[in-house]
Structure 1
Amino acid sequence: MSVTIETSATSLLRFATAGSVDDGKSTLVGRLLHDSKSVLTDQLEAVEHASRKRGQETPDLALLTDGLRAEREQGITIDVAYRYFATARRRFILADTPGHVQYTRNMVTGASTAELAVVLVDARNGVVEQTRRHAAVAALLRVPHVVLAVNKMDLVEYAEPVFAAIAKEFTAYAASLGVTDVVAVPISALAGDNVVEPSAHMDWYGGPTLLEHLETVPVGSDPSEQPARFPVQYVIRPQSGGPDMEKWRDYRGYAGQLASGVLRVGDAVTVLPSGHTTTVAGIDALGVETDIAWAPQSVTVRLAEDIDISRGDLISAGATPVPTKDVEATVCHLSDRPLHVGAKVLLKHTTRTVRALVKEISYRIDIDTLEQRSAPEGLAVNEIGHVVLRTAEPLALDSYTDNRRTGSFLLIDPADGTTLTAGMAGEAFDTVRTDADGEDWV
């Protein structure tokens, strides 16, 4: 049985923008917000005032997203800027990510939860190194949909051959990464061509505007197609007295957010990592009993048998992952402190945190060519590579390719709680090996 979560009029699309420096990402985001009537009057007045102080006659729409003082002074995006806006057809959460190489980790952060990535290209420069890097990151993170926005078409006289050549080159490169859903749109963020309104200068283009595509692209998936994964966040056992205490005397519920799939009363489930099996006796959503729950609902699940379950355990239905202490993963290192072999870290997977040891750094990935390179010095900030970890307790990880929620994890510094590395269990995509290249402490 299929489960319909939302209608197209109320669905939510999370998407990220990426591209090289000065390709116009922040201007594009500002144009989207402005032309979709998603900018408050006082915000627009502040941008107009700031623009006039710079001697600009028209509002600099990039200021709607570049909120850090350093960003405004340098005219670049540094941090990920999240913006919420809505149209009559859909709601959006947008992550405007930086274009500089040294902020690749920020692009990883913004794209990690995105269902669509908008990769901008300056029509004058075409596909450049950073364009390929961001396409590779989108492929690595398994972003389902990619839009190639060929920007600044006004500066190439809206020439169709320029757009066609860039679209052909990018689509071929994306296909080599395994990205097959690529839609190319010629735009001018500064002038507003094909962003929200169709362009009068490009009658040769018969496709949708950028906003039209964002409003109509399929989002999410049928939760019935994925196995159910329910990480336990909290065990509910009412202890206080009162007139209804008799009703709650034997109540034991497991609260959390369904990471994927569908749970129904009567379903056979396995509790991991213990491996105990039982059935779902009841589901409570917002204090009301229901027969069914689907991702990403937050509910309380009651089981038919009393089993020793605590925070961090995983209630699983359908195909069940095999708990393991040996984890192989593709990782993006986020910290300025390098990640070395032998490092003792904490591994956070869903609601479970365990000690772990970095046993091996097999290689780092040259994100420009996807070639494998040796990593004798470990992984530096922004570098992506393959690691082998050994954990103190078994973890029930899915492959990231199969499940982005339960196939991802974080490595944390046990001394100060700093997030070090973002990991994706299993191979994210095939790479080409070009050069050759600890003991369990738990």
Structure 2
Amino acid sequence: MEDITMRKIFQYIMLAVVTIVMASCTSDIEETTATTGKSNVQLVVGEFPAFGDSQTRAIGTPDEGKTSWAEGDELLLVIDNTFYGKQYATFTYNGKSWKLTSGELVYREGDPAYIPHVYYAPNYKWEAGKLVLKEGKVAGTDEYIEGNARITGNDETITVSFAGATRKYSRLRIATLPNEQITVDTEDFTPAGSSDMEQNGNYTLTSDEKGNAYLYGNFVTNSQFTVKYEEAPLATHTFLQATVNAKSYALDATVVSLTDEGITYYQIVEDVKKELDAGKTYINLILAPDVDEETLEAIHSGLLEGDARDGSINLTLIGCKKIPSRGFLHFDMLKSIALPDVTEIEGKAFSNCTKLQKVVLGNLTKVYGNVGKNGIFDGCRTKDIDLVLSKDQKVMNGGETEGGYCWTADITKDYSGSDEHNGRVFLDYDFQSITCGYPVP
């Protein structure tokens, strides 16, 4: 007798798409209630003062985030019924409709089936009935939303809705360099999709064409995070209150370019002053590879005219490969300086920067001067400075040349793990700590 049992395999899914809107407002750290309906967006300004627009990214402009389904998006479903039990499937959007791309959804006619779970979680996949991270993916770097689904239309349609979905995490939007990789060091952060709080985490993010990068999860009271480009700090923040579920927070880690052709001394001064007027203590600038003394002097003037206090400024200069002699002479306002792309430094470059606490340098190949003889850190209290070097830094060998004393990189010897590294010595200067691949305190 013909088996009257029939199987129905779903290969299409109709979605009640709910646009998810996340906005931001004009403050360094801002809050925006982000529910799944456009009509229910509330703007809540946080505790930090307003930041002005940046040349790279206007932090005050609304950023809606993801507002519609895009080709390649995936939905992860579970279907359950008495005869076949639980089954797991993935549907992928091809730009026009949703197609079953893995697993199967099978049930017996007359045996009621229901869908207990449907997820939009780009970092995850089904494996042995569990959601697991895809290879190379990290929790907290994308959404993790659970929606609702039901079988309709004569048992031949699955309707999915995220209208009632509630995010159990917040979103951190970082406005920074466009299309660049940044890192975020976190403290006491629970990433979306996980229930385990990380005391110390490190996330690698890539910003979009607008300069936005995103981190999803929850910070507790007094949690801190730092945004870096390579090893250069761009911004840091401490949450004075725990983040709230379904709210979006924004941090300004933008960078101002001073590489425009024809830019004048006074324009540079004004650009730096604007950053200070906006309340920033992290000043991030892009310079030409062969930056000249006049440009650095203009930056110094901008800091002075902007009333930067001694030991208050964290200066990051991206792009410059060579620092001229006395380039940062008497930059007393510097608390830290980061030069992630620099490879060559001339004598007395940081002389008499008496308030320096941290210096980040690129992979150096040549440095002029020696301790007490036009050395780059003469007049600095290097035993109070934390030095961060490229993990690829080589041992520097010094000697007299026709142009004076010069240090050159020994391409056969890594500095990391060397006697000098373990002794916290670089270019014959003693430092409080030296990080090169790993820290030596």
TM-score after normalising by structure 1: 0.30
Higher helix content, 1 or 2:
1
Structure with greater contact order relative to length (CA < 8 Å, sep ≥ 6):
1
Higher strand content, 1 or 2:
2
